[in-house]
Amino acid sequence: MSELSVRHLLGIKYLNEADIELIFETADNFKEVINRPIKKVPSLRDITIANIFFESSTRTKLSFELAEKRLSADVINFSASQSSVKKGETLIDTVNNILSMKVDMVVMRHPNPGAGIFLSKHVEAAIINAGDGAHEHPTQALLDSYSIREKLGDVAGKKVVIVGDILHSRVALSNIFALKLQGAQVKVCGPGTLLPKYIESLGVEVETDLRTALDWCDVANMLRIQKERLDISYFPTTREYTQQFGVNKALLDDLDKEIVIMHPGPINRGVEITSDVADSKQSIILNQVENGVAIRMAVMYLLASKIK
């Protein structure tokens, strides 16, 4: 298959396994490009991309912008905090004003789940979801799976545990969809209050004891507590959470095998993982950041080929 089955990247649940494989094969080529002395290719020279972020972002926004520039696209950056949204403008009006400037693709982060899906039904441009509330974050899940594939050779058959605030995490949901699609075994681990009630209906197992989860897994993906989304107290104290669900070097060294440590960022050092774990040779956190650029280049390149 040489093209994606979708016109937009709204979530992993709209992709099939062949789509993911195509994105990974394309990312392999772009990873080679970004490690050359001259890191730029003219693949999207006639394409204009708008980055529209209604929520704060550092890594994702920088990663998309760098990927766009590596592909020679024309880039417009839009920040909601400095826009007419503050004056009451609607999402569709905002985007249509931007599209009237002949924009071909929109990368959007929005606090409301389903914002990208809503937008895709009302505008002609290709939409890439850079995170919509606690719903999905497809490019993060793709780069996570790509990083596992790079480190362990394949995703199929691997045992992956996602630890932390599953309830509020768009990364967790997209990762579950992506890992299950590729044949991995998935468990989630965290306080009962931070696990969605129907999580097992997604085909994952629940484990509330961190040590048992780490003994089982090949890969542990550590998530931060989404403090900005916590409207009530879900656990007594941060210190107690760390004692129960934080990974430190002593715990890793006590396991019978070496496991791979991942984190989508930003890291709260000393909470979900300690600094010596984040900076250890078992950690592939910085590989994830590097792979993020290649994956986003691949996604934009493949979606651009479907723009009429």
The answer to whether 224 is a known ligand-binding residue is: yes
Q: Are 116 and 110 in contact (CB under 8 A)?
A: yes
Q: Are 278 and 263 in contact (CB under 8 A)?
A: yes
The answer to whether 86 is a known ligand-binding residue is: no
The answer to whether 153 is a known ligand-binding residue is: no
Residues in CB range of 56: below 8 A, 6 or more apart = none
The answer to whether 208 is a known ligand-binding residue is: no
Tokens read off for 221: 């993906």
Residues in CB range of 248: below 8 A, 6 or more apart = 273, 274, 276, 277
The answer to whether 45 is a known ligand-binding residue is: no
The answer to whether 265 is a known ligand-binding residue is: yes
Task: Quote the CA–CA distance of 181 and 184 in Å, as a whole number.
Answer: 8
The answer to whether 149 is a known ligand-binding residue is: no
> Which phi-psi region, left, alpha or beta, contains residue 72 (left: φ > 0; alpha: ψ -120 to 50)?
left
The answer to whether 7 is a known ligand-binding residue is: no
Look at residue 224 and give its three-state secondary structure. coil
Residue positions in the annotated binding site for carbamoyl phosphate?
59-60, 109, 137, 140, 265-266
Residue positions in the annotated binding site for L-aspartate?
87, 170, 224
Residue positions in the annotated binding site?
59-60, 87, 109, 137, 140, 170, 224, 265-266
